[in-house]
Structure 1
Amino acid sequence: MLVKDFMTRNPITIAPETSFSEALKLMKQNKIKRLIVMKNEKIVGIVTEKDLLYASPSKATTLNIWELHYLLSKLKIEEIMTKDVVTVNENTPIEDAARIMEEKDISGLPVVDDAGRLVGIITQTDIFKVFVEIFGTKREGTIRYTMEMPDKPGELLEVAKRIYEAGGNIISIATLFEEGKDSYLATLRVENIDHEKFVKSLDEIDVKLLYYHSN
């Protein structure tokens, strides 16, 4: 799964000289939380809803409403935007985009093609939707098993065999490793399985069923 499969195409952009009021209006009208700033078809900045909030005068200000409106109408996006913009290529794996967001502590990434042209934007919301799809949480009639597995070759295959023998079909698999441990957690979502037969078969291998949940 690549970024281009989940990004929003043709994102709304603004110019550096766009006013604070215009940017805020665009966000509200389009129900978005960030705008990419473009100049001569190049990305020069990004501004978020939070940036606009912090740029607004404090409620404790002594300015009257007319003075506030005047100040905000003169404030340009280039004065508050983030200029060092982190981007991602459209062919980047979706999990790498998620890692970049986590490492950089950012909630959205402009997406560019191989020529550096803006083609979309990927956000935390998009990543969350991918997470939901990967785990098959919308699929009814499934059972979610979480097991502690010894960290050695073949154990996951043994579990898969027993799922097959119990008539089950694996919808998703996720693993979680912790450095220094000789075991890891595996979560599998399965459909059409004989639950009792599967659970009983786990006694034959070195796997510990921690919990399960029916959807």
Structure 2
Amino acid sequence: MRARDIMTADPVTVPPDTPLEAVAALMAERNISGLPVLDPDGRLVGLVTDGDLMRRLSAKEDKPASFFAALLGANADQAMAYARAHGRRVRDVMSTDLATVAEDATVEEVAHILETKRIRRVPVVREGKLVGVVSRADLLRAVMAPVGSGAEEEASDPRIRRGIYAAMREQPWISTRFVFPMVKDGVVTFHGFLGAQQAMTALRVLAEGVPGVREVRFDTAPPPSLMVGVP
């Protein structure tokens, strides 16, 4: 499997002169934590993340460099921190030293970059231009729903599991924080913490409503006395 198979092919992007207030609002509204920055020709010039915005706030608490630290060159770092703390545009806070991959990079190569660089996403580029982004979430989805070479359709068990998760998230009486399904050959087994028999009945009904489910089982434990919010 390659980066092209799992990447988000049309990611939200911003130009370098975008005000940071607009970026913060966009991240909050779209529930995303990082945005590629493109120049007018569509070339990738940086990446702005929620971490960059947080560093902008925290930099205001930095103390001035001491006399001896300044002699050793720490004033250059202080200047950069000042620009990040007081800048008003994306170009002032974005990261420019980026790790990127090509479309034909394997998922193993992408995972290695994310892990060694300790980053949450990597841009996919073609001749310097952005064609997509691969995030940790994209890799996790690839692990949960592998697509073999030449396969015409997705395996049914991962599809069933995603369908159950989607249905659970729509219900106020159950939380995927405490209960999670596993699917094998169409048989759904719920694991985690679950107390009320009514919740088990409702979960069984919910799972049976997902196409492809053949049987529903429970391998759950009663919640600890101090655990709040478990049905």
TM-score bracket relative to the smaller structure: 0.5 to 0.7
Identical pairs, percent: 30
Per the alignment, residue 140 of structure 2 pairs with 128
Per the alignment, residue 17 of structure 2 pairs with 17
Aligned residue identity for 1:140 = K
The separation in 2 between residues aligned to 1:84 and 1:58, in whole angstroms, is 20
Matches within 5 A, 1:112-151: 112-113=125-126, 115-134=127-146, 138=161, 139-141=183-185
8 Å contact from structure 1 (residues 20, 73) kept in 2: no
8 Å contact from structure 2 (residues 114, 120) kept in 1: yes
Instruction: Structure 2: give runs of 5+ residues left out of the alignment.
Output: 62-84, 147-154, 162-182, 188-218, 220-231
Per the alignment, residue 105 of structure 1 pairs with 118
String of CA shifts for 1:12-64, please: whole Å, max 9, x gaps: 1111111110111111121111001111321111011111122126898xxxx
Matches within 5 A, 1:73-112: 75-112=88-125
Aligned residue identity for 2:103 = E
The separation in 2 between residues aligned to 1:11 and 1:86, in whole angstroms, is 17
Cα displacement (A) at 1:140: 2.2
Cα displacement (A) at 1:6: 0.8
8 Å contact from structure 2 (residues 44, 128) kept in 1: no
**Larger fraction in helix:** 2
**Larger fraction in strand:** 1
Aligned residue identity for 1:48 = T
Q: Which has the higher contact order (CA 8 A, sep 6+)?
A: 1
8 Å contact from structure 2 (residues 87, 93) kept in 1: no
8 Å contact from structure 1 (residues 19, 74) kept in 2: no
Per the alignment, residue 64 of structure 1 pairs with none
Matches within 5 A, 1:1-215: 1-40=1-40, 41-56=42-57, 75-113=88-126, 115-134=127-146, 138=161, 139-141=183-185
CA distance change for structure 1 residues 58 and 86 in 2, over 3 Å: closer, same or farther? closer
Cα displacement (A) at 1:133: 2.1
Instruction: Structure 1: give runs of 5+ residues left out of the alignment.
Output: 61-71, 144-213
The separation in 2 between residues aligned to 1:101 and 1:74, in whole angstroms, is 28
Aligned residue identity for 1:25 = A
The separation in 1 between residues aligned to 2:97 and 2:6, in whole angstroms, is 24
8 Å contact from structure 1 (residues 7, 121) kept in 2: yes
The separation in 2 between residues aligned to 1:140 and 1:127, in whole angstroms, is 21
Per the alignment, residue 202 of structure 2 pairs with none
8 Å contact from structure 1 (residues 19, 73) kept in 2: no
Aligned residue identity for 2:57 = S
Aligned residue identity for 1:21 = E
TM-score (norm 1): 0.55
Cα displacement (A) at 1:84: 0.8
The separation in 1 between residues aligned to 2:115 and 2:46, in whole angstroms, is 20
Aligned residue identity for 1:131 = V
CA distance change for structure 1 residues 58 and 74 in 2, over 3 Å: closer, same or farther? closer
Aligned residue identity for 2:16 = P
